[in-house]
Structure 1
Amino acid sequence: MSTEKTTANNVWDTKTQTFHGGQEHRFINNFVEDFSVTTNYLGTPRKALEAAREAMSEIHHYPAANQEPAKTHLAEFLWGSNYAEQHGRLLMGNGASELIDLVVRKALLAAAERGQKQPTWKGSPWNVQYREYQRSAETNGFKILEPSNPERADMICIVNPCNPTGDYFTVEPLKEWIKDNVKSGGCVIVDESMQPWHSADFRADSLISEHQYAKDMWTNENVSVHVMHSWTKIWSCTGLRVGSVICPTTEHCEALRKIQVPWSVNGPALKFVEEVVNDIDYLNETWENTPRLRAYLIEQLSSLEQSKEWEYHGKKFLSWVWLDMKCEKVAEKAIELARGAGVPVRSGKPGYKCNSFVRVAVRKENEVQVLINAWKSL
């Protein structure tokens, strides 16, 4: 048993785990707000949080093995009145991370059935993206191709919008990129976790509405397209762990369920989803204010004397800014000052190797001012 004290610097096992933000708050005595995670600035929806709390009184019972009625509520949120036609393609999981691993493992099995000893994997065309996809591919024995490699891969995974860079493919260019980069018989994961921030019409620019496309890719190209969501960002419940994947067919969903551990989504999480999908006021406030607050954040950062050469990356609707400070030492100092002021930001160095970058979440004006005041001494 280790006697080493746990700190923000050793919370991750670097030999086996990928660095992620959202851990420092527990080690900061003067904590104000977490700017290192891309969760909704509004915090957790009140009614859904209360539903999860009430569900704690039933933890002496097993959660629903079929994930119902939460899965049906989520399906209706995704597809409206036609949800029943697509319901069988939807599977929930313990965050997106569990489902990522399930799809990658299934893709490896499919490649082995085709006689491939080491299938290839490729990420998005952008220089970096959320690392869990590559980590899972490496763990399962895929050969990793660089984003710039023109070779088609047996498995491709793209985070769209891309976290952390903020790049975004609208739906038609996304479909073209998939077509140009996956082998016939291959597997695709498109992570749209941050896409619901797009607008009230987010479904119209999303693969969740492209039913015929998913069907045609499977029927004509033998390519399985999976749409992944981590719901813990838009609804600010990262500690609860709620994810889902939309499979190309019901049969694909059944194949994943076969290798998924039972009861992977706990009772409070299921009750949370059941309630939160009905909170339209929360989403309307998100869509109305996030772009305004993001613009405010950039305006305040730009007002700093040291910011003349800084570059701000990402679409206007996103819940964070990918900030290039153009100097590794300045970035390191900014991270230190933010932590000291109780407003930690996400360093671009661990995991992404973007040493002059920091990721800054969109937060309320008074919280932004704490960060700005800390960075005046850069």
Structure 2
Amino acid sequence: MPIDTKPVASSGPWDAKLQQFHGGQEWAQLSNFVEDFSVTTNPFGMPQGAKQAATHSIEHSHHYPPADQEPAKTSLARFLWPASFENDRDRLILGNGASELIDLVIRMAPSGTWRPGPFYTQYKEYERSARNNGFALLGPESSEKGNVACLVNPCNPTGDYLELPELKAWVAENVQPGGYAIIDESMQPWHSAQFREHSLVGQREYVEKLYREQGISVFVMHSWTKLWCCTGLRLGSVVCPTAEHMRAIKKIQVPWSVNTVALAFLNAVVDDEEYLRDTWELTPLWRKATVDRLQGMFPGWEFHGREFLSWIWIDTRDADVAERAVDLARAAGVPVRSGGPGYNLPTFIRVAVREPQKVDVLVGALKKLQQE
């Protein structure tokens, strides 16, 4: 499938000529809002302990936040590398959401060609940044190696997922020597309590060898606003191949990029083990229950994605049906994401995993499709 090189026009708050469409904007305009099924945030909502820490931090908002992002940065490093955080934290930097860091890394990347992951679509901020920074865009079907290659793994929205051996093989086959590989693992922590064993975050020897022998720089990107359901706070991080790469990002990053409230939230939330246990235990169960209900109603639809993911990517096989499903969900106060704006895949919808009571409302709205 050839890559789309221009933003798709969209309604709502997005300027289609200047911005890349993203979901999560409709809820505030709905007088009957129940739940937002259009975003891939954690179904358990914002962790209460971290929310309290963030709220309390407002008392200190007349002061500048720490320029070194501490102690939140070290707390996140301890979360990522429980046994080796003191040796690894110098490769870590926080940002105002992953979007800021995506743009900073691509800005300092070697110029030339940019290519996405092997899937037919993925999160579009990488493409937007590459286009804005003058890269020639390759499609996922291209056999040409890129100066910069960006892979979202697990892939949002398609639900595709590469295990570490497959991921390393993809980097070897698709990144030119001296190039950048940016691997977005924002949804990786949903994998299980053993997510670190399946992540590039723990592959320091591999990353160092690749940089030493081929000059390929591997960056591991995270948006933490999905796992901990705090998209309004804007929290992201990137693990760099070396401390020197981290300092290169810091040199061009706007000072105080992450505000006091977000830093306080992050510093507290990494210790909420109960929240993560609930996430790992119940997300797959709620996801399967939702798939089973919708599949029973619409046996012709195709359901995509790994069992641990916080969303379901659905091909209705009919653009009119997908549009009607989006309209019905919105009217019931439970908006879902259309695959049309942004992804240019009008037969698809994306439905977040949510608690069964909220799914009841969505199912009730979509029943009207069976009657039409």
The reply to whether TM is greater than 0.5 is: yes
Unaligned runs of 5+ in 2: 1-9
Aligned to 1:23: 25
Deviation at 1:302, TM superposition (A): 1.6
| Corresponding residue SS for 2:35 | coil
Q: How is 1:1-378 mapped onto 2 (pairs within 5 angstroms)?
A: 9-107=11-109, 110-111=110-111, 119-304=112-297, 307-378=298-369
Distance 1:172 1:79 in 2: 21
Distance 1:217 1:132 in 2: 25
Deviation at 1:308, TM superposition (A): 1.9
Distance 2:118 2:84 in 1: 34
Distance 1:308 1:261 in 2: 50
AA matched with 2:201: I
AA matched with 1:336: D
Aligned to 2:5: none
AA matched with 2:15: D
Distance 1:241 1:25 in 2: 18
Distance 2:201 2:42 in 1: 21
Identity %: 54
Unaligned runs of 5+ in 1: 1-7, 112-118
AA matched with 2:314: L
| Corresponding residue SS for 1:303 | helix
CA deviations over 1:229-261 (Å, ceiling 9, x no partner): 000000000000000000000000000100000
AA matched with 2:104: L
Distance 1:231 1:187 in 2: 22
CA deviations over 1:46-82 (Å, ceiling 9, x no partner): 0000000000111100000000000000000000021
Aligned CA-pair RMSD: 0.8
| Aligned residue pairs, count | 360
Distance 1:9 1:282 in 2: 36
Distance 2:155 2:330 in 1: 25
Distance 2:102 2:136 in 1: 17
Distance 1:212 1:30 in 2: 52
Deviation at 1:300, TM superposition (A): 1.1
CA deviations over 1:257-277 (Å, ceiling 9, x no partner): 000000000001000011000
Distance 2:357 2:270 in 1: 29
